[in-house]
Amino acid sequence: MPLTDLMPTHSDILTACGLSEATTSAGSLNVYTPVDGSLIASLATHSVADAEAQIAAAKEAFKSWRLVPAPRRGELVRLLGEELRREKENLGRLVTLECGKIYQEGLGEVQEMIDICDFAVGLSRQLYGLTIASERPGHAMRETWHPMGTCGVITAFNFPVAPWCWNAALALVCGDPVIWKPSEKTPLTALAVQVICERVMADFGDDAPAGLIQTLVGERELGEALTASKDVALISATGSVPMGQAVARDMSTRLGRTILELGGNNAMIVAPSADLEMALRAIVFSAVGTAGQRCTTLRRLIVHEDIYDALIPRLVKAYQGLPIGDPLVDGSLVGPLIDTEAMTAMARALEQAKTEGGTVHGGGQALGDDFPNAAYVHPSIVEMPTQSAIMHHETFAPILYVVKYKDLDEAIALQNDVPQGLSSCIFSTDVRETETFLSAAGSDCGIANVNIGPSGAEIGGAFGGEKETGGGRESGSDAWKAYMRRQTNTINYSRELPLAQGIKFDI
Ligand code: NAD
């Protein structure tokens, strides 16, 4: 049901997403909205035994779902995309209420879900294998792709719904049941999506088995229950580097498959030939969008010394005029941080930057009188003398460190000299520079852009990063292959039994 009220209450937003009072007051997992820090729900949580029961149900569902023809599986995802179109405003508003990103970005996140559903529907008719030339006469070889088994999806608070969909839409067309463990900070959006999925499965009919799409509400031990179970074939985990390291450790003991989408520390190089108007807009959007809480947020700006003075004062001025405010209200461009711990972490990072020689512009709490229990901050620019220790670290807040460079090799070396490898970009109109940046000797990140900021990826390309970002790829291109098992077939249609490599083994 669409909300017509211009300024719906928090409980209107929950109700519009099918979350009744009985659901939102059923237990002890407290959910606070970052909009004003108030309590919006106390949810019942699942136990580890519940997680095991879901895993068993998914295992059963897999037996029939893997046999449903892939284009028919695609029909389920098409229906999901249709339902998401209908629910876009309601769900987008709930994303804003629960994680604090501005409403436009909440809508954008739901649009990403719709986009990946469209992609997956097309993919459901394109799960192509190969035919391969055999060295033996009368033999054929081919490579085929089969459903893999249950896919466990662990997600972070800052993108509470889209990453689930990047995984689920592909997993479902690939023939895999999905169990979702959302962030304990944003379980409401997951429950709202589960409500949508229940409706979609009912419309789809009997060949969507019980246990096909499930959600686990609770703390990390539910994620650990997924990683521990040999009946979960694949874990796709989005979150911090320490979480990814723990998941990788647990999965390695059973040699399970992972897709890891972890922290970033993304940079932009601004070269002397850059269009500074474009660069300025790209910097501000990618550094302060989602209040600096995107994995692809711009955190390091590497500026050529010749244009430094033309760019940085303008940037500082642009920051001073940014509308900080309630993310549900039109016109706010910077919403709150997720909680006061995040605000403390930001203050600590700025202190460290100062001790490392940084000059800090902005920073500090904003709107403290209006929202004493929330964590609104002034985005910060920090001019650094060199790329020192603090710049190697991802602080999940709107802090943009700026350093100068003299030549492109130095800039690329700075860009690559951090532990993370998610997203990167260069602003330049010199093709020699841009192609060098994209070459084997250029950016070492999973994403490298030219004249576009590091955030705001489209679903058509594979998304993910290298080094401590984890190496996983989701979404477009051939990311679907991670959700299937590959099988090589050799078929002998002759009356002889020649061995490969010409080996003689006569008996
Ligand atoms: P987090 O690591 O604290 O939590 C993420 C999820 O992991 C939660 O659901 C949590 O319950 C679960 N979890 C934690 N420990 C676990 C364990 N040992 N086993 C199984 N599950 C476990 O992350 P967060 O604070 O919610 O999100 C912010 C981080 O996520 C940032 O570092 C950000 O860069 C990263 N992120 C990365 C991407 C990407 O695509 N690369 C996207 C969004 C966010």
pLDDT tens-digit map of 341-380: 999 999 999 999 999 999 999 999 999 999 999 999 999 9
Residue 456 within any structural domain of the chain: yes
Cβ–Cβ < 8 Å for 205, 228: no
**Are 345 and 453 members of one domain?**
yes
> Which atom of ligand 1 has the smallest separation from the CA of 261?
41
Residue 261 Cα to ligand 1 midpoint, Å, equals 8
Is the same domain home to 176 and 87?
yes
Please tell me which residue in 83, 87, 109, 261 is annotated as part of the active site: 261
Tell me: do 39 and 182 sit in the same domain.
Answer: yes
Are residue 304 and residue 227 in the same domain, yes or no? no
What CATH number is attached to the domain comprising 152? 3.40.605.10
- Report yes or no on 501 lying in a domain: no
Q: Which residue in 43, 40, 18, 28 sits closest to 328, CA to CA?
A: 40
**Whole-angstrom Cα distance, residue 349 to residue 343?**
10
- Residue 470 has what DSSP assignment? -
Task: Annotate 214-265 with DSSP letters as a single string.
Answer: EE--SSHHHHHHHHH-TTEEEEEEES-HHHHHHHHHHHHHTT-EEEEE----
pLDDT value at 493 more than 80: yes
Residues 258 and 278 both lie in one domain: no
pLDDT of residue 7: 81
Please name the residues in contact with 317: beta carbons below 8 A apart, sequence gap of 6 or more: none
How many structural domains comprise the chain?
Answer: 2
Q: What is the pLDDT of residue 1?
A: 43
The span from the CA of 58 to the CA of 436, in Å, is 47
Atom of ligand 1 nearest to the CA of 247: 19
CATH number assigned to the domain comprising residue 403: 3.40.309.10
Task: Give the span between the Cα atoms of 266 and 453, in whole angstroms.
Answer: 10
Q: Cβ neighbours of residue 409 under 8 Å, at least 6 residues apart? A: none
Q: Ligand 1: does its nearest atom lie under 6 Å from the Cβ of 449?
A: no
Whether 36 is covered by a domain: the verdict is yes
Residue 241 included in any domain: yes
> Which residue's alpha carbon is at the smallest distance from atom 20 of ligand 1?
223
455 with 333, same domain? yes
Of the pLDDT bands very low, low, confident and very high (cuts 50, 70, 90), residue 50 is: very high
CA of 159 to the centre of ligand 1 (A): 10
467-487 pLDDT tens trace: 999 999 999 999 999 999 999
**443 alpha carbon to ligand 1 midpoint, in Å?**
25
> Mean per-residue pLDDT for 237-243?
98
Atom of ligand 1 at shortest range from CA of 263: 34
To test the ligand 1 pocket, which listed residue (158, 186, 224, 339) has its Cβ within 8 A of the most ligand atoms?
A: 158
Q: Does residue 142 sit within a domain?
A: yes
Are 156 and 276 found together in one domain?
A: no
Query: CA 338 to CA 324: how far, in whole Å?
Result: 14
303 and 244 within one domain: no
pLDDT tens by residue, 195-238: 999 999 999 999 999 999 999 999 999 999 999 999 999 999 99
In short, whether 261's Cβ falls inside 6 Å of ligand 1 is yes
Say if ligand 1 is within 6 A of residue 338 CB. no
Whether residue 465 lies inside any domain: the answer is no
* Cβ partners under 8 Å of residue 312, min gap 6: 303, 381, 383, 402
Does residue 500 belong to any structural domain of this protein?
A: no
Give nearest CA residue, ligand 1 atom 26. 156
137 inside domain: yes
pTM of the complete model? 0.97
Mutate to test the pocket of ligand 1, among 45, 235, 240, 341 (most ligand atoms within 8 A of CB): 240
Residues 70 and 187 in one domain: yes
CA of 239 to the centre of ligand 1 (A): 2
pLDDT digits (tens, 9 = 90+) for 319-337: 999 999 999 999 999 999 9
Q: Tens of pLDDT along 119-140?
A: 999 999 999 999 999 999 999 9
Q: How many CA atoms lie within 13 A of 27 on its CB side?
A: 12
* 261 classed as catalytic: yes
CB 337 within 8 A of CB 343: yes
- On whether both 364 and 288 belong to a single domain, the answer is yes
The verdict on 388 and 405 lying in the same domain is yes
DSSP strands (E only) in 11-138: 29-32, 39-43, 130-132
154 ligand 1 Cβ < 6 A: yes
Q: Distance between CA atoms of 4 and 144, rounded to whole angstroms? A: 50
Q: Round to whole Å and give the CA distance between 22 and 27.
A: 10
Domain that holds residue 369: 266-460
Q: Do 255 and 273 sit in the same domain of this protein?
A: no
- Is the confidence at residue 5, as pLDDT, over 80? no
